[in-house]
Amino acid sequence: MDHSARKQKLRACLPAVAPSMLKCDYGNLQHQIEQLADDGAHVLHWDVMDGHFVPNLSYGAPILKSLRNRTDLFYDAHLMISDPARYLDDFLSAGCDAITFHIEAVPEPLDLLRRIKAAGVLAGLSFNPKTPVSAIAPFLRETDLVLLMSVQPGFGGQSYIEGSAEKMKELREAAGPDVVLSIDGGIGPDTISGPAAAGADLYVAGSSVFGQPDFGVAIREMESLAREHGPAYQN
């Protein structure tokens, strides 16, 4: 699949909940992915942590790669690592559809964004709660996806930071309509409406999916709130 086919594949499912695999049952990974697909998920959000950029470790490219031929779901990789350029080829060959890294790790991100796009993959930039929209604004034209952190990255299960919807609004105004905007951290039925009204497209959700007995009910509830409060989609 090339860059534009991937873009279309993602656009076609918006607004969407992207279950954060950080909160899944790792002993049952393949089954959980099948369950998510049966329950209507379109996107898997993979949180990669190196114990350096964030104070936690999770998993790396080999795990993503070994599951790649078992699912067609869109692979949305979120690299919370200090040196994403060093591992880029591993994540490309693992079959990621979008690769997002942090502006705090790579203050001059243009080369890396271009390398990702040249490989036919969507290029994403993320920024922490304390980093202003103005820090990523100069790079928006080269970015397919922006991931706004609504918690400090590193752990699932934290509380949504109030004010993230206002930041999302500012981001949407700066990014224009074509960049996919994602929000990550503390997203659930109680918090999704604010960012939806502010123009978000993609909602990363860990605890509010995996903490529920029925993933499908949780995903559908959040997606219908996102549709109700968010922009109208043509798909």
Q: How many CB atoms lie within 10 A of CB 61?
A: 21
Residue 48 CB, nearest approach to Zn ion (Å): 9
Site residues (CB under 5 A) for Zn ion, limited to 62-81: 78
Residue 229 CB, nearest approach to ligand DX5 (Å): 18
Identify what 144 binds: ligand DX5, Zn ion, none; CB under 5 to 8 Å per kind: none
Q: Using the rule CB under 6 A, is 129 a contact of ligand DX5?
A: no
Catalytic option among 2, 47, 190, 214: 47
Q: How many CB atoms lie within 10 A of CB 187?
A: 28
Site residues (CB under 6 A) for ligand DX5, limited to 6-35: 20, 22-23
Residue 180 CB, nearest approach to ligand DX5 (Å): 16
The set of long-range contacts for 139-143, using a CB threshold of 8 Å and a minimum separation of 24, is 139/103, 139/109, 139/110, 139/113, 140/174, 140/175, 140/176, 140/179, 142/110, 142/113, 142/114, 142/117, 143/113, 143/175, 143/179
DSSP-derived letter for residue 162 is T
Which of 57, 31, 24 minimizes the C-alpha distance to 211?
24
Cα–Cα distance, 75 to 96 (Å, whole number): 5
Cα–Cα distance, 124 to 182 (Å, whole number): 10
- Interface with Zn ion by CB under 5 A: which range of 34-42, 46-54, 63-71, 187-195? 46-54
Q: Using the rule CB under 5 A, is 184 a contact of Zn ion?
A: yes
Cα–Cα distance, 177 to 200 (Å, whole number): 10
What's phi and psi for 203, nearest 5 deg?
-125, 105
Closest-approach residue to ligand DX5 (CB): 206
Closer residue to Zn ion in complex, CB, 97/184: 184
Is 184 labeled as catalytic in the residue annotation? yes
Site string for ligand DX5, 190-209 (x = CB under 6 A): --------------xxxxx-
Catalytic option among 50, 76, 97, 184: 184
Question: Which residues contact ligand DX5 (rule: CB under 6 A)?
Answer: 20, 22-23, 45, 47, 78, 151, 153-158, 184-187, 204-208
